[in-house]
Amino acid sequence: MTWAMRRGPVARYLLPVLGAFIAGWMVAPTLTVIPLSFTARPSFVFPPNGWSTRWYANLIHDATWLEALKTSLIVAILAALTATVLGTMAALGMRRRFFGQRLLAIFLLAPMVVPVVIIAIGIYLVFLPWGFAGTLPGFVFAHSVLGLPFVLVTVTAGLRSLDPQLAPAAASLGASPLRAFFAVTLPLIAPSILIGAVFAFMASFDEVVVSIFLVTPTRRTLPVEIYTSVTRDIDPTVAAAATVITIFTSVLLTAGLVAHARRSFANV
């Protein structure tokens, strides 16, 4: 007799309904954006009356949107790269116990806990006199700080599942520490690094708060452009942009989570 068969009617019929309702409650507002993006008229009335794809055409042809998308992609890719390299190195360095190691870990993980607005203000006040506000390196620096904790967490977990005897084994076979790292450690933690990189990319790609502080009229990221557009005028192009982002991030995150789950199961 399986567990499902032993449950009473309430659990068997009510729980799935309740689960579906809560899931719908959480996701529905996001999903309304999709039909809205196909509306025929320049309004946000839901449900839309009449259908068209003109807002997608608008998105592709409007230089402002394209420019914002390009900025977002470049920033996210560079920030993810920076966070991945630094986060991986930090995870490797913090395998060994040393004085102040826990403090350093808390410090590096802080961007996950500290309210983003606080980080944003801090970054803004430091970047302003340094001339980093509104520049590409500024965005990349700020966003890589936000992405680094994700890499640190996933790579640390990956290293923990590694047999500690592998490095000594490689050394006894004649591999220098550097070669042992590239031939043994790196291939084994590559999946963890990749997952961390995906999360770091996401952390940058849909980041709004810090970006709002850093934007200039000429350099805007996509989420900031969406925010500005919604508050400024009624243009369903924003719904089209939001739909593109939603689908893109959903696919990326699902792929990352599936890979992570596979790996966790494989290790059991």
Partner 1 sequence: MSSFLGQGATLELDRLEKRFGDRVAVDRVSLTAKSGEFLTLLGPSGSGKTTTLNMIAGFVAPSGGRIMVDGREIEKVPPHRRNIGVVFQHYALFPHMSVFENVAFSLKQRRCRGPEIRSRVSEVLELVGLTGYAKNHPRQLSGGQQQRVALARAIVFRPPLLLMDEPLGALDRRLREQLQLELRRIHQEVGITFVYVTHDQEEALVLSDRIAIFNGGRIEQLDTAETLYNFPQTPFAARFLGESNLIPVARGKRSGEVVVRGLGSTIRCPSTVEVSSDSDLHLLVRPERVRLCAGDLAPIGFNRLQGVVQEIVYLGSLRRIAVGIAPGFVVSVREQAGEWPALAVGEIVHVAWSPDDSTLLEGV
Please report how close the Cβ of residue 200 comes to partner 1 at its closest, in angstroms. 24
Window contacting partner 1 (CB under 8 A); options: 19-27, 71-79, 159-167, 234-242: 159-167
Judged by DSSP in three states, 151 sits in helix
What is the pattern of x (binds partner 1, CB under 8 A) and - over residues 171-200?
Answer: xxxxxxx-xx--xx--xx------------
Q: CA–CA distance from 51 to each of 41, 236, 243 (Å)? A: 8, 12, 15
Judged by DSSP in three states, 251 sits in helix
Which one among 11, 14, 57, 169 touches partner 1, defined by CB under 8 A? Answer: 169
CA distance 238 to 34: 11
Window contacting partner 1 (CB under 8 A); options: 67-75, 136-144, 169-177, 240-248: 169-177
Please report how close the Cβ of residue 198 comes to partner 1 at its closest, in angstroms. 21
The answer to whether 74 contacts partner 1 (rule: CB under 8 A) is no
Nearer to partner 1, 167 or 253 (CB): 167
CA distance 246 to 35: 13
Window contacting partner 1 (CB under 8 A); options: 39-47, 48-56, 123-131, 170-178: 170-178
Residues 6+ positions from 260 with CB-CB distance below 8 Å: 154, 195
CB of 194 closer than 8 Å to CB of 182? no
Please report how close the Cβ of residue 87 comes to partner 1 at its closest, in angstroms. 22
The answer to whether 212 contacts partner 1 (rule: CB under 8 A) is no
Count residues binding partner 1 (CB under 8 A): 19
CA distance 241 to 236: 9
Please report how close the Cβ of residue 164 comes to partner 1 at its closest, in angstroms. 9
Q: CA–CA distance from 138 to each of 162, 185, 195, 211, 223 (Å)? A: 36, 33, 24, 10, 17
Q: Which residues bind partner 1 (CB under 8 A)?
A: 163, 165-166, 168-177, 179-180, 183-184, 187-188
